[in-house]
A = this chain, B = another copy of it.
Amino acid sequence: MTTEYFREQLKLKGLKVTPQRVAIFEAVANLRNHPTADHIIDYIKNNHPNISVGTVYKVLDSLVENQLLKKVKNEKDVMRYDAILQQHHHLYCSKTDQIEDFVDYELDKIITDYFSKKKIKGFKVKEISLQITGEFNNNSIHTK
């Protein structure tokens, strides 16, 4: 996924294409492990040694607002971000803070079918995702 792609996405949303926005957007996508603001800052330090933390938070907010990123719910006092917008689920490790993506179309179909029949009264569903909590086997943690 090239830098040009990220610039384009920003443009499509009517956002000014700044080096900071591109770098932050790209960082979340490349890091892939649902990074925190801090992870992102570390990651872009080389090319942006003096980026302001306020900028990072503001950019993340606006990317989320413009639906180019999503926040990832978790039970720590630090927000995490996700560049994958398509429907997917998350594996939460209760030992480490690792969060991995879990994609399963068959499961998605089952759930979609179920909720197309059974409506939740008084609530309009926009999105359904699973949070799967458990533990990774140490040896199978794929860092790349």
Contacts and interface: CB of A to CB of B under 8 A. Distances in A.
B126 A133 contact: yes
Interface residues of A, number: 40
Interface in A110-130: 110-111, 114, 118, 120-130
A44 B109 CA distance: 45
Nearest to A74: B73
A60 to B, nearest CB: 12
Interface in A82-96: 91, 94
Contacts of A75: 71-73, 79
A134 interface: yes
A62 to B, nearest CB: 16
26 contacts: A71-B75, A73-B74, A73-B75, A77-B79, A94-B126, A100-B123, A106-B118, A111-B111, A121-B140, A122-B136, A122-B137, A122-B139, A122-B140, A122-B141, A122-B142, A123-B134, A123-B135, A124-B135, A125-B133, A125-B134, A126-B135, A127-B133, A128-B132, A128-B133, A129-B133, A131-B131
Q: Oligomeric state, in number of copies?
A: 2
Interface of A: 71-75, 77, 79, 91, 94, 100, 102, 104, 106-107, 110-111, 114, 118, 120-137, 139-142
